[in-house]
């Protein structure tokens, strides 16, 4: 059972929009905006509230300093 976190407020319109997109058959939904607006929190909240069996989360960074080089990423995965 999903319980809404007490600090998740003021996003009813955004959740309604995500519901509309899903009901219209959207296969992929992109949430974009400036950093710090709560995009990730919104997406995680929405997905958790829907009870999906499988969720694929793809986090992307536009800033070059936040991008892990491909070789480094593979090496890190192999070490874990």
- Determine, yes or no, domain membership for 1: no
Q: Identify whether the C-beta of residue 5 lies closer than 8 Å to the C-beta of residue 45.
A: yes
- Determine, yes or no, domain membership for 5: no
Secondary structure (3-state) at 8 = coil
- Determine, yes or no, domain membership for 3: no
Q: Which of 5-9, 20-24, 38-42 has the lowest mean pLDDT?
A: 5-9
pLDDT tens-place string over residues 17-36 = 999 999 999 988 889 888 88
- Determine, yes or no, domain membership for 32: yes
pLDDT at 78: 52
Q: What is the pTM of this model?
A: 0.63
User: Structurally, how many domains does the chain consist of?
Assistant: 1
- Determine, yes or no, domain membership for 37: yes
Domain that holds residue 73: 12-79
Cα separation of 27 and 30, whole Å?
Answer: 10
């Amino acid at each position: 059972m999903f319980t809404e976190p007490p600090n998740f407020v003021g996003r009813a319109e955004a959740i309604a929009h995500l519901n509309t997109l899903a009901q219209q058959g959207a296969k992929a939904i992109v949430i974009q905006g400036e950093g710090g607006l709560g995009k990730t929190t919104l997406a995680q909240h929405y997905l958790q509230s829907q009870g999906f069996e499988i969720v694929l989360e793809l986090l992307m960074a536009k800033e070059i300093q936040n991008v892990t080089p491909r070789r480094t990423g593979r090496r890190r995965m192999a070490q874990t």
